[in-house]
Structure 1
Amino acid sequence: MENLLASLVKKAKVEAEEALRQCVAALNGLAGVHILLGEWSLAEEKYRSILKLADEYKQNLKVDTLQKIHTLHNLAEILENGVSASSLTLKDEAKELEAKYLNKCSRKISCAKEAVDPLTDAVENFLQSDTMTCKQPWWVQVLDWSCSSNYADELVRKVKNDISDYMSGTGKSRSSAKINDVSDANGLRYHLLIQIDELIDKRDLVLEEMKQLTKMGNEPTEASRLVMVAVDCHLRQTSCSSAIVSVGSKRKAQSDISSNISKEGNKRKSGQKKKRSSKCDLCEADANLERYEALLFKVLRQKVEGEAVLLTEDGHAEKNEGDDDAQAVKVFGQLSRGNWAAGEIERMLKVVLGFAKSKKLDQKIIEQGNTQIKLMESMKKEYKYLRILWRQLNDQVSAIDELNMAKLRLGLRDTEEVKEAKQRKKVVGNLSTNLHSKLESLHLLNQHELEPYAARLSAELAGGSCDLRKRVGQLFYLQNLEKANSGRHGGMNPDPCPICRKVLGEKWSVLQCGHCYCTECIKVLVTEYSGRGGSVKCAVCREMTHHAEISYVDTSGGPGDYCVQNEGLRILSPL
């Protein structure tokens, strides 16, 4: 029974926090509407109601961090004209929450960096060894020996056959097509030399980019710039980050970051009328990681970049070369497919090494070959953690962008923005996969939309408050049952069934609200008094429970803990 109660408490807590989240969202929205209407005292009241809710339920429920940051930031902005001590305290609390929110990402980046560094050192040790620094690599010596011993054709044939068989499948890589052009040992030597040099160069480039990204993440100014470019590049592909809201009769920037983004965005738009923005540092690093991966691992199909296509009113498709891509539809081809298997370079080196072993060449050559194969294995291990590091850096940028978005509140559209929206509103606009026009002004309203929007938020607040009271009451009831050690006294439940008043004893059922019924009464409720959706209404609190969520407890089987399914009921037997 204790395991069942713990599960019910956990679920009730999640549902209560979801109801609390709905209430906070409605209150934040209403506060934003009051600000647009110039009702500053009502806006302050709504924000303080959120803080009151957070304090009231702080022992059992947690307010969403981003929602609380929004509340503290905007409440402090309302009070900052008076430069009161309360506004300074609110700002400090908001900064503390932001730091705590970002520290999670920073810790993950540190862990990923600690995992990468030893692997990077191992690769560097291999690269600085005699095998990699000698004037004539071991595989060149093998190729020279094959030419002088008339085994060159055999070696080239073995390499080409191995690569052809290995890289065949559902697709064909670009590199495997190049190996088909090799006809002699000199061609193979040139191909291997180019591939190995490219591999080393790509690794150096990736390491340098990871170093720069990590450094930028530790500097607030550089991190802000990186977020600004990433927002325009791939995070949202819109100018939401530079949006400003109406506070009274003035337009105020949400933060220094948003202001900088707006200025940078205006410069970019004025300077590049017909040129699309370049990739951000994160996307450049990701692209280089993919190229590096294609050299290290087996990748069969190359990535086909999406092309922005502009749909005209007559249904024809045109290439979109302009800056305004609100109606653009991006068409993508086959993406690259790969796995962690050895790449073409490693396979060729292994074939050459196997040839050297079969011909019993100098042992020093064999040892150098084994060393380079170990180097390839180390580089593959390093790559996996480099990819994890990039992912954590990308998550950090996304987290900073989430904080910037969390501070935004409702705003009024400008007259020019309304005209532009009407011009962009075409029949083909709804078919666009570009979110520019859909997300850019998501938080902006027209003047005539304020009252209906406030009415909708008020209805959501009323429903959320009612649901919150019900969920919190259910949570408290289940927590009290858990504290009372219900169902642990000798395997017997002394409580009576609320319907027939019989002692529950060794077998009883439990609804999601925590109320218990005997097996006979729950059978009648399920078979004769179920709703259309297959749910049962509790006779005590009227809470609905789906048939699949009804739990059945049986303590008559002695010690043991098992769970089986029986006609949609979960049958549990506690210790």
Structure 2
Amino acid sequence: NEFDNKSIRCSIDDDLVSRIQNELTSSYKQQANKFSMADKFRDGHGLQFLLTTQMEDLMKSQKTVQDAVKRLEGPASKKVIDEATICHLRPVRLPLNNCVFCKADELFTDYESKLFSHTVKGQTAIFEEMIEDEEGLVDDRLPTTSRGLWAVLHEYWMVLRNHVSAIDELGMATERLRVRLPDEPKPKVLHIIEPHEVEQNRVKLLNDQAVAKSQLQKKLGQFLYLTNLEKSQDKATGGLNPEPCPICARPLGQEWAVLTCGHCFCNECIAIIVEQYSVGSRRRAIKCAICRQTTSHTEISYVFTAQASSQDQDIPVKGSHSTKVEAVVRTLKKIQVTDPGAKCLVFSTWQSVLDIIAKALFDNNMEFSQINGIHKFQENLSSFKYEEKINILLLPLHTGSNGLNIIEATHVLLVEPILNPAHELQAIGRVHRIGQTKPTFVHRFLIKSTIEERMQAMLKTAEKR
């Protein structure tokens, strides 16, 4: 009887070990050139030894990190601040990574590698257990899960590190560059320089001043440009910029040129300046007629504020989205108003773009269905075809452009230009095919003055050939 019980226990242990090995093999990410977790034990005793060893190692690393963070508590001494300054805040050359904060960071890296080394696809890691420290934690309110403790400790370490960094910033605000005194020992800080370094630092500061002035001028120019652009967006002016050109005094209207200094001129005057008054050795720059600041030909910006139809402007789009995503949502809303019940296919080459559009549709309370891979493919497709309230289907080009019959839809929206004309025809062919009794509408979305506009022009040229 005792022999039978022992055989049963061995059989159960073997079955359990086999199931665990299968689970580890199928669920855990395997690293190349390394033994997998499943290869490190053969029976129940081996599994118990492996778990005990791993947990002891993890607990030891956790205790080391806790002690390191504990030592950083309290007001930072001048020695600690100076070490951090020389080490990574203001190193002379490359960061040294030898101060107490950098050493603690290395301990965190080691703890993290042990804690997160056994990751599982969509499941809980085998070593994510409730870990209680017998000697107490840094704070009694800290979580007792291993990952939660790591996150809080690391956040606390960041707070202490940033505190020292803030003290160093205050010190930099009160320090002044000076020359080392004859009897003063050689310093390890940057604000005390040798006599022979004075000229080098003077030249560097002058260069920094020139760069800062140039950047300030560009920012002021951008501000002036945006101010003028805001005036053109006023509905009272009908989308026209009422500001006069400084040279010919005619209103800038819908099209004008902007220099890097921010001053605006009509395109006719800029063309004359470029043709007759260019400067430089190669005559590739012009001087502003107001402030005389130089702008190269390639830096001249040309603004086109074509009036949008008032009907489109009256359609609001909730949320903060990019110009293209907003245009797609506004078009879908317009279709719902002008053609109630019409179904629309939205194609994009990238799944991430469709995810962004899906969020925008959700923000605007618009019902839609989305196909992303084989998961619930038929279910989502059927809901779009047969449910009256779902009139929008988001499709990735590589999945939705082949073999589907979706004649229920009448609108096709192409979010970006498609380089392969055959793929575009396949996408449109999901709707425009035998059995379709209604007109098919294709909407293309391009961002003006970008690579998309050039791609579309190239595709049109290729079609003519």
TM range, normalised to the smaller chain?
0.3 to 0.5
The two structures have a TM-score, normalised by structure 1, of 0.39
Q: Relative to total residues, which structure has the larger helix share, 1 or 2? A: 1
